[in-house]
């Protein structure tokens, strides 16, 4: 049994599209206690061209964690707990054709297995510069997922502690560069700031969210860790300081 209970990066996928109402990428999820987080950045002259009406993985609807719009650029984050393993398709669908779009997804293992508890508080910011930034609150055993869309054909350099997961541009109509990263929390952290640097100035919309680890296997299962045995119920939140703690 491959029961992964430590939150960790699994895989990444990304792609671009232009003048269309949908964008798709192939993504492979592996191991156990899986989660998938997707970031979509799009340009367009209306909100329904900047933010998708829905995102699916393997035909299963993902939950929108949050969205932010700044002028003609929109950024949104979507989440799915317990996605199917193996190679499947991520699809974002729009109500109207976007100008340009970049989408990226990151899967995790050892993640919380209920979508409602998988992510922390969504945070976002907007501006026009080479230095988008936003700070996400972290609690325990978590990794911050960040994504930014910037209206220019450019590239990004990751900030301190960040691991770049994708950096791509679509330049057919209204050029947009989409960038995504992850950053694990360190001992003592209460917040993590996502702050990449772009090579060119542009209007940007950045968003980030905490991805929460499972810590200890959740389920109607008795688990043995060393000499400790715990009986857990579905939905128990095992983060320290949360009332559901049983250890």
pLDDT, tens digit, 9 for 90 and up, residues 31-52: 999 999 999 999 999 999 999 9
Provide the percentage of residues in the chain whose pLDDT is more than 90: 81
The Cα–Cα gap between 53 and 51 comes to 7
pLDDT of residue 215 exceeding 80, the answer is: no
Q: What is the mean pLDDT of the chain?
A: 89
Q: How confident is the model at residue 60 (pLDDT cuts 50, 70, 90)?
A: very high
pLDDT of residue 230 exceeding 50, the answer is: no
Reduced to 3 states (helix: H, G, I; strand: E, B; else coil), residue 13 is strand
Q: How confident is the model at residue 219 (pLDDT cuts 50, 70, 90)?
A: very low
Q: How confident is the model at residue 243 (pLDDT cuts 50, 70, 90)?
A: very low
Strand 60-61 versus strand 63-70 pairing type? unpaired
Provide the percentage of residues in the chain whose pLDDT is more than 70: 86
Around 210, how many Cα atoms within 13 Å sit in the side-chain half-sphere?
21
The Cα–Cα gap between 147 and 45 comes to 21
The Cα–Cα gap between 36 and 104 comes to 11
CB neighbour list of residue 145: distance below 8 Å, 6 or more residues apart: 37, 39, 77, 106, 180, 181, 182, 208, 209, 210, 211
pLDDT of res. 93:
98
pLDDT of res. 2:
60
pLDDT of res. 23:
98
Reduced to 3 states (helix: H, G, I; strand: E, B; else coil), residue 123 is strand
pLDDT of res. 223:
33
pLDDT of res. 139:
87
pLDDT of res. 66:
98
pLDDT of residue 190 exceeding 70, the answer is: yes
pLDDT of residue 235 exceeding 70, the answer is: no
The structure tokens 């119920």 sit at 233
Tokens encoding 178: 């989409």
The structure tokens 């541009």 sit at 169
Query: 49-62 burial string, b = 16+ CB within 10 Å, else e?
Result: bbbbeebbbbeeeb
pLDDT of res. 81:
97
pLDDT of res. 169:
98
Q: 0.75 exceeded by the pTM?
A: yes
């Amino acid at each position: 049994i491959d029961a992964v209970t430590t939150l960790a990066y699994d895989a990444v996928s990304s792609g671009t599209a232009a003048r269309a109402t949908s964008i798709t990428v192939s993504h492979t999820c592996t191991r156990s206690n899986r989660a998938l987080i997707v970031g979509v950045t799009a340009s367009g002259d209306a909100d329904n061209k900047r933010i998708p009406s829905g995102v699916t993985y393997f035909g299963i609807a993902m939950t929108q964690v949050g969205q932010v719009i700044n002028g003609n650029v929109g950024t949104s984050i979507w989440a799915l707990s317990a996605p199917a393993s193996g190679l499947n398709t991520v699809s974002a669908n729009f109500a109207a054709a976007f100008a340009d779009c970049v989408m990226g997804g990151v899967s995790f293992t050892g993640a919380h297995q209920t979508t409602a508890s998988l992510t922390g508080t969504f945070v976002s910011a907007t501006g026009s510069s080479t230095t988008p930034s936003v700070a996400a609150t972290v609690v325990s055993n978590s990794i911050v997922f960040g994504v930014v869309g910037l209206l220019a054909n450019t590239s990004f350099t990751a900030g301190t502690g960040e691991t770049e997961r994708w950096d791509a541009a679509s330049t057919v109509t209204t050029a947009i560069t989409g960038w995504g990263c992850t950053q694990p929390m360190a001992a003592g952290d209460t917040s993590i700031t996502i702050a990449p640097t772009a090579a060119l100035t542009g209007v940007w919309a950045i968003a980030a969210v905490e991805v929460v680890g499972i810590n200890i296997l959740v389920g109607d299962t008795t688990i043995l860790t060393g000499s400790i045995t715990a009986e857990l119920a579905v939905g128990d939140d095992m983060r320290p300081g949360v009332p559901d703690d049983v250890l």
